[in-house]
Structure 1
């Protein structure tokens, strides 16, 4: 083994690994169908208003369609954000990827890491945070409430397993 090429040990193998992504209820196929329907309806209304002589109204249908496309584009851009969370005996790693592709990594020692959850009485988990070693980071802020519950239970088990080994 040469210097600088440390081979991974059994302690470095992940006990837990998860990729968290925002939920989008409308896939690309559904988005295309929605745009086709909205575009067709806009064209029909544009034609009707042109025929009856209310041509200034035509611009509003064009603006509405452009705004609809823009809103969905922004939504899908935000949907490109993701987080990769892994737990091993020696490391807790949280990699946060922005929609632009920029990545920020937070690392914690599993023996010192604290996983805290804030709950609302009616909703459930509102926020999750890992802290330790002077640093902290929020995780899974874009998850829906059911996914937060599932992730929190699995992550807490993994952290307990890493500490007990």
Structure 2
């Protein structure tokens, strides 16, 4: 089955199913006698999700893809991408609070993962949100309450 929307032919077959955003392919599992399914976002080289796929009734060939299975796979692949983005965000952007009340300071570390020159920006904001210090540091800088307090003591002295 094919759908021609905006001059794009969408393939919807037993082992290959696609929509405007995702492409699902049932592939032979290299590690055993089973089958796997890969979900790839259009325009990306690597699949966002690869997982086991159900065998058909003959226990030899894969179960064919259909619309409900494809929609479930899309939902799962989207969730995997969302979690990956959240994990990357958490790894590249760290935040801690030091002090308390009117003396509370928020210290952030924003890592810039440049291939040639990775670095991080360390910044501190007071309780009113005004930036009180900023410094470029190595990408491997470990942000802890102790390192933040020591940095701020030097910066604000």
Using structure 1 for the length normalisation, give the TM-score: 0.28
User: If each structure's helix is expressed as a fraction of its own residues, which one has the higher value?
Assistant: 1
User: If each structure's strand is expressed as a fraction of its own residues, which one has the higher value?
Assistant: 2
Using structure 2 for the length normalisation, give the TM-score: 0.29
Higher RCO, Cα 8 Å, sep 6+: 1
